[in-house]
Structure 1
Amino acid sequence: MVTKNFLELHQPARGITLSGYWELAPGRAISLQPREAGALRIAQGQVWATVDGPHQGHGNELGDHFLQSGQRLDVRTGQHLVFEPWPLVSETPVYFGWTPHPSAVAVSDSRWQLAVIHPLHDLGLALSMAGGALVRLVTGLAGYGEYLVAGRGRVLPKLEANQP
């Protein structure tokens, strides 16, 4: 999710920093495709952010968002996000943060996934474990069978025909 160019952007040019936030210099843009859902938070300045679809709603809800200090934009896993300072001729940097959503909150499984896919996955895991247990059982019985045939570990001496 983080590229070298992105890491270079947080270096303050004017000696002013906001602890815990990244700096985006005027005239620069950032492109992100997060591996986990999260929120873009604007601490100072304004940005023009564009996210890829699918989109719902009217007007600016179709992908373009204008965010000011204190606002946030939620981004889904794998969704492509591009943002830059707004207005484009601004001379002040933008400070922003990225906060991953907790996995418990970010879970948004569909009804199909909850009702069919998850139980099917569990069943596959259970069958795999049962198959492994069956193989170990057959191997153990085969090894134990040799023990039983040998007289439970005792080898009886041969009786000689000449003995009184």
Structure 2
Amino acid sequence: MTARSVAQLLQSAPATALPGTWKLVRGRAITLRPTNDGILRVAHGRVWATIEGPHGVTPSDSGDHVLEVGRSMYLHAGQSVVIEAWNQRGASYFAWDPVFVTQPVRPRVTATAVLQPMADLRAALALALRAAGQLATGLTRLAWDRLRGGQAGVSRCPDGALG
């Protein structure tokens, strides 16, 4: 909706207007030019809505629609519609509800995406090197002990049993 059309609607709406709606008196028409996709809803009365062309050949795609209480119409951004109160007497009330389309959010690729795995690999490599060093030390001691004729890691009790 343009700022001018909103201002005109607000000036014509009395304090008794339905909350969240705009009043459109009989015999008046207004053009809506939404900048976002949205839904035109009729809260009271009925309106005649004419969507700008091109139009199809079927009556439901003719561009002209009569919307009554509880009915709504989806409009795309930039698509204009002229609405007019279409009652025997009294005013119609309508609401315009924008529909915001969610955009998928791609995760930001940051240095953390590379630095964290690199730090994990560095820690894993340090642990692997330490374990390899301990294994080499243990194997060396075992081999040295065997060469000297002892049994590494096995001690004998005084009665000859292994303990």
After TM superposition, the score normalised by the length of structure 2 is 0.56
State the distance in 1 between where 2:46 and 2:89 align: 12
Please tell me the residue identity of whatever aligns with 1:99.
Answer: D
Aligned length: 103
Report the alpha carbon displacement of residue 62 of structure 1 after superposing the two structures with TM: 1.4
SS in 2 for 1:103: coil
Residue 22 of structure 1: aligned partner: 22
The match for 1:128 is: none
Residue aligning to 1:93 = 91
What SS class does the counterpart of residue 8 from structure 2 fall into? helix
Q: How does 1:1-164 map to 2 (within 5 A)?
A: 1-11=1-11, 15-56=15-56, 58-87=58-87, 90-104=88-102
Deviation at 1:56, TM superposition (A): 4.1
Unaligned runs of 5+ in 1: 108-164
Contact 2:26 2:90 in 1 (8 A): yes
Root-mean-square deviation over aligned CA pairs: 2.1
Is the CA contact (8 Å cut-off) linking 2:13 and 2:23 kept in structure 1?
no
Q: 1:115-150 CA deviation, whole Å, 9 max, x = no partner?
A: xxxxxxxxxxxxxxxxxxxxxxxxxxxxxxxxxxxx
AA of the residue aligned to 1:72: S
Tell me the CA shift for residue 4 of structure 1: 2.2
C-alpha deviation, 1:102, in angstroms: 1.6
Asked whether the equivalents of residues 13 and 22 of structure 2 are also in contact (C-alpha less than 8 Å), the reply is no
Q: Which runs of 5+ in 2 are unaligned?
A: 104-163
CA distance in 2, matches of 1:61, 1:82: 15
TM-score (norm 1): 0.56
